[in-house]
């Protein structure tokens, strides 16, 4: 499944009003399915910067294949 990505809404869809037009540049981020699952492990979701920090804190692990 190399190259398979999810699209994360930077602004949660549940927090926007009806009629809100999603701006793909401002509102969407491509992430791997694993990172997307991590983002949504809590409410409110982790930011992508927080997920990056979690990855950096891991010791002795190869992080070359992570998208966050």
Give strand pairing partners of 31: 6
pLDDT score, position 59: 53
Domain residues of the chain, as ranges? Answer: 6-57
Please give the pLDDT value at position 39: 94
Percent of the chain with pLDDT over 70: 84
What does the pLDDT look like over 19-44, one tens digit per residue?
Answer: 899 999 999 999 999 999 999 999 98
Q: What is the H or E stretch that residue 31 is in?
A: strand 28-31
Collapsing DSSP to helix, strand or coil, 68 comes out as coil
User: What integer best gives the mean pLDDT of the chain?
Assistant: 85
Over 60: is that where the pLDDT of 53 sits? yes
């Amino acid at each position: 499944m190399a190259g398979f990505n999810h699209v994360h809404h930077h602004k949660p869809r549940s927090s926007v009003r009806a009629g809100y037009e999603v701006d793909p540049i401002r509102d969407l981020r491509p992430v791997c399915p694993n990172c997307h699952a991590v983002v949504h492990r809590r409410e409110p979701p982790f930011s992508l910067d927080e997920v990056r920090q979690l990855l950096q804190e891991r010791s002795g692990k190869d992080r070359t294949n992570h998208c966050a």
